[in-house]
Amino acid sequence: MEIATNITGLAFVMDIREKNFHSLYADIFTSLKEKGYTLDIIFLEAEEESLIKRFSQTRRQHPLSHHKNLIEGIKEEKQRLQNLREAADVIIDTTRYNVHELRAYVLELAEKTVKTALMKINILSFGFKNGIPNDADLIIDVRFLANPYFVPELKDLDGQDKKVSDFVLNNDKTILFLEKYTDLLDYLIPLYVKEGKAYLTIAVGCTGGRHRSVAIAQKLYKHVKKSNKFVAMSHRDISQ
């Protein structure tokens, strides 16, 4: 089984005959996602009768059919790959595809994946008192959170400072807000990608743009970065 990532050209081969096949593919997929790669798993399958016909026509031996007949090898392969099939983003039944139709379909899927990887996302913090950003696609107002500005030892710091960040993030109200808002972003971002959007600016605003919005923007950046490679962050009013 050959697996390739879409942008970098990275490719590697995994063999189901290897004893550690199951743990190998799981570890590799996890590692790629942690490194920021966009990973879509496409699983190809076919009806048993079609597979038997294909092996007969090519006169190739099934890799799992040693000391077994062809049908037993196909059944064992299906069993071994069941977990991978369940993890797949797309499952293609190739029974009624010819080679040209299958190639066209896979290329279409690949083009959609490339669009996903190339959409650029900017997480922007700002202060409402300085005006709403003109280029914002999504605006979230976090002025409902406790304001570090009114804490003497935090007033002159900004949201990049750990003391301010801890003050903003470590309370039940913020935790619940982030849970709900990141869920919304996880739902919306793929929809913007599907529409072919090239840029997406997510703006986070507080009163002055120095404390709450900065801390929240940083948290959102870390979350979005896990599944989207091209993510940037900027703090428009942090020095105001």
User: Residue ranges per domain, the chain?
Assistant: 2-117, 119-235
Report the pLDDT value the prediction gives residue 16, as an integer from 0 to 100: 60
Helix axes 99-118, 172-194, angle to 10 degrees: 140
The residue with greater pLDDT, 106 or 8, is 106
Name residue, tokens 């703006």. 203
- Nearest-angstrom CA–CA distance, 26 and 24: 6
The residue with greater pLDDT, 177 or 5, is 177
Query: For the segment 57-87, what is each residue's pLDDT rounded down to a tens digit?
Result: 777 777 766 667 888 888 888 888 888 888 8
Q: How confident is the model at residue 7 (pLDDT cuts 50, 70, 90)?
A: very low
- Is beta strand 11-13 parallel, antiparallel or unpaired with respect to 2-4? antiparallel
- Nearest-angstrom CA–CA distance, 217 and 223: 10
230 token code pair: 């091209």
Quick check: 98 pLDDT over 90? no
Quick check: 153 pLDDT over 70? yes
Cα 172 to chain centroid, rounded: 27
Q: Are the C-beta atoms of 238 and 210 separated by less than 8 Å? A: yes
Of the CA atoms within 13 Å of residue 128, those in its CB half-sphere come to: 11
Top mean pLDDT of 12-16, 58-62, 65-69, 179-183 is at: 179-183
Name residue, tokens 């949201």. 159
Cα 36 to chain centroid, rounded: 8
Q: Reduce the DSSP state of residue 127 to 3 states and report it.
A: strand
